[in-house]
Amino acid sequence: MTEPLIPKSGTPKPGSPKPGGAAHTSGHRDTILLSDVPDATAVLAEDASSSAAAGPSLSPAALAAIGVRYEMLGEAGHGSMGNVYKARDRETGETVALKLLKPEIASDQAMMDRFKNELLFARKITHKNVCRVHEFNRVGGIAYTSMEFVEGESLRSVLNRFGGLPQRKATDLALQICSGLKEAHAQGIVHRDLKPENVMIDAQGNVKIMDFGIARSMEAGTRLTGSMVGTPAYMAPEQVAGKPVDYRTDIYSLGLMLYEMFTGTPAFTADNSIAVALKQMREDPPPPHEIEPNIPVATERAILKCLEKDPARRFQSIADLESNLRSAAPVMPPPRMLGSTATTNPNRASTGVPRAAVAAATPASQAAQRRTSPFVWILLGALVVVGALSGLHWLGVVQAANRISPPEAAAPPKPPEFAYEHPAPPPVAPEVPEPKAPVAKSVAHV
């Protein structure tokens, strides 16, 4: 896939489809028939019998009959209606998947009609996210359908191993399922049994919706009465009640799948299928954020809108749901907040992507965090790094300056040597003549 997934420790859940190449792998029961409200005792008995039944291997006569056209390469999966084998078409050289009906089912004309419908309706859908169906045929008492072989595993197998998926991976898979369903609805086809077992994921992460065997066109669906076919854990309330179905029935089923993809927990659980079916009609599931606190608010609203009991209150088209999922797609994982308290789901397997701690913040502040551009976080990170480097440099300069000792006091300068070569004579004081005593003159008087 485009984003690596880390499997949780332990073994897969019981009844999970075995991984590997397959065009269809399913759990212990593909569908049940609901006409009005069946007796719970009968459902429990059916559960026991279906879990005890195992997919039979091909008999030598069947192998010889089918081997004229196909080279059997191995078993790819099995369910309550038959086995799926990987085979090579000798005529075209193409690797295909052969879905073989059990003999007791192949003898039931109603079941045969379902498989003919799978060919007639599924062949009308040409889309990269829908598994191509080639032909329906009978040979040597064996009824089978040949279809595109998908090298991968079912969404059910992925959920069994990983629990909930990372938000970006879950959104990517959901958008691919929407793309395939949108094309089917454009052809007037309602799947009516949409569930993780009927969604394959190949090695490149591409989704393939399959098993349109119980799908009916809109025109034919409005004329149908009686038993409703589907899987209770992924059935819409109107489907459980035996009312007419339309595109919005698939939207409800997809909402149940999204709930499990984003939270890792089914929306409704009970001890038996009837109790689950009644919950679909009467109860609302817990809000997804109570199980996975980091789910975006817009994604949670889209899921809950898909799960409205009244079809008029759901999304009225797959295109509307697709638009909401695109707008809610996370650009990057939400940042882990400091001082927050982490909340874990014990039933949730690790997906390999660390979940951010649950912040004690209001929904408004959480929405503001989701609207923050990633470039802002990059810029803030760069500023923090530059500031840290500047602080370290300044600290190093200060420490280096403290290690330098002060200079010693300088000696007084000496006079130059030439000052001593010709010393100047000491100054001589000028001689001052001593004053003479005056000479007395005698006057001779004659």
**Sequential pLDDT tens for the chain (446 residues):** 444 444 443 334 434 444 445 554 444 333 333 333 333 333 333 433 333 333 445 667 777 888 888 998 988 877 666 788 899 999 889 999 988 877 777 777 777 777 677 677 778 888 999 988 888 888 877 888 888 898 889 999 999 998 889 999 999 999 999 999 999 999 888 888 899 999 999 989 999 998 875 655 444 444 444 444 567 889 999 989 988 889 999 999 999 999 999 999 999 999 898 999 999 999 999 999 999 999 999 999 999 999 999 999 999 999 999 999 998 876 554 544 434 444 444 444 444 343 333 333 344 444 444 556 777 888 888 999 998 988 888 888 888 878 777 767 666 777 766 655 555 566 666 666 666 666 555 544 54
In angstroms, rounded to a whole number, what is the distance separating the alpha carbons of residues 50 and 136? Answer: 26
Q: How far is CA 178 from the centre of its chain?
A: 15
State if pTM tops 0.75: no
Give pLDDT, residue 323.
93
Give pLDDT, residue 360.
37
Q: How far is CA 348 from the centre of its chain?
A: 14
Give pLDDT, residue 249.
94
Which amino acid, one-letter code, is at 101?
A: L
CB 241 within 8 A of CB 136: no
Give pLDDT, residue 353.
40
Among the options 193, 202, 250, 320, which is catalytic? 193
In angstroms, rounded to a whole number, what is the distance separating the alpha carbons of residues 80 and 50? Answer: 7
Domains and CATH numbers, the chain: 16-22+53-149 (3.30.200.20), 152-328 (1.10.510.10)
Closest to 159 (Cα-Cα) out of 347, 357, 358: 347
CB 150 within 8 A of CB 23: yes
User: Cα dihedral sign for 113, 98, 94, 19?
Assistant: positive
Is 284 known to be catalytic?
no
